Amino acid sequence: MIRNEYRRAFIMLRPALPGYGGHARLERRTATGSLYVVVTAPEGAGALEAALAGQANGEYFAAALGPLRRDRRGQLTLAIQFDPRNVGGRPLEAYHWLTVARAEGGCAVALNGNLEGSRELDAAALERAVCALYAAPEAPAADIPEPGEPASAPAAPEPEAAPPADSPEPEPAPEAQAAPAENPAPSQEDGSDVKIYVRSKARVYTAAARQEAREDPADAAPAEPPRSAAAALGLDASSPWNGALEPLRRLFAENPPAEGAPEDGYTYVRAPMPAGCGCDACFIGLHAADGAADGIRYAIPGANAAEPPAGMDGYAWSQGFWIIDAPVE
């Protein structure tokens, strides 16, 4: 009988390059595993790739997980399922770090997080192992002629075969008849009032009539867009933010303050979580004073317990959430 093991971890991804941030949710059973990665990145960051990395006997190795794709919120995400007994030829337990690498314009690890507990890390060796996954294969060498041997020219294309002499000439295609335009727009040569004919041709509206219709008080005014979380905090999201705040700028500029978040003086936005993890979203909060953010807080919905869930070391329970603060620099 196979023992059915279960493990769930929330992984904070630490930035190795400025402007990046993110988190991941890992779930593992005996024969199945799932991983959901959410990343914010600077504009023009290019292709980002997720990978697992490990170290044994002084050697670093890595296994590719796949590319991240941008969702409608502007975040980069990856959701995969895998066999934890064989990830790139090794069991999941052989890997120590989850990484996100910038694979274009010079490969570099942008984010990394511990899969289980902190370990000593050689950042340069880790980056070499991860970037080796995305190195372009070398092109095959071209044939070089021997001295005195003429270089081979590309073969000329073969001429097309002529049609038989007795074959009938193809009939020309009938010309398409242009459909007469319904309701042609009248010319405006003298700058006078323009008449616009509606499709039914039943009524003619002049510009003056349209102006009166616009001024009709019965016309409902367009609804104003919801206020963004950045505006609610009094923060300017039109220019880059400092330090660890920059990866959050777009989230707070494009999303309104979240409902159902902790009431602790922070303004929160929702960030998606993977299906089946017990909650559909976590909350990311900012505290601001005098037009500048001075605190970052993460809140994960969950039941109270003596110890935080696996992978959430440092979290404290409050108001129905597991909460942890992060530095702004």
Q: Is 27 helix (H, G, I), strand (E, B) or coil?
A: strand
User: What are the boundaries of each domain within the chain?
Assistant: 6-134, 229-326
Specify whether the CB–CB gap between 201 and 183 falls below 8 A. yes
> What pLDDT is attached to residue 211?
53
* pTM: predicted TM-score of the whole model, two decimal places: 0.48
Buried b / exposed e across 292-320, counting CB within 10 Å, b at 16+? ebeebbbbbbbeeeeebbebbeebebeee
How many angstroms separate the CA atoms of 240 and 246, rounded? 6
Split at pLDDT 50, 70, 90, the class of 158 is low
Q: Which residue has the higher pLDDT, 242 or 90?
A: 90
Specify whether the CB–CB gap between 18 and 67 falls below 8 A. no
Amino acid at 195: K
Q: Is 62 helix (H, G, I), strand (E, B) or coil?
A: strand
Helices (H) and strands (E) in the chain, counts: 4, 16
Instruction: Give pLDDT tens digits for 65-122.
Output: 999 988 777 788 998 888 888 999 999 999 999 999 998 778 999 999 999 888 888 9
Query: Read out DSSP for 195-235?
Result: EEE-TT-S-EEEHHHHHHHHT-TTSPPPPPPPPPHHHHHT-
Q: Which residue has the higher pLDDT, 155 or 127?
A: 127
> What pLDDT is attached to residue 136?
64
How many angstroms separate the CA atoms of 153 and 135, rounded? 32
Q: Please determine, for residue 319, whether its predicted confidence score (pLDDT) is greater than 80.
A: yes
How many angstroms separate the CA atoms of 153 and 249, rounded? 57
Instruction: Give pLDDT tens digits for 193-207.
Output: 444 444 444 444 444
User: What number is the average pLDDT over the span 6-16?
Assistant: 88
The CATH code of the domain at 6-134 is 2.60.40
Split at pLDDT 50, 70, 90, the class of 178 is very low
Split at pLDDT 50, 70, 90, the class of 144 is very low
Q: Which residue has the higher pLDDT, 185 or 20?
A: 20
Split at pLDDT 50, 70, 90, the class of 162 is low
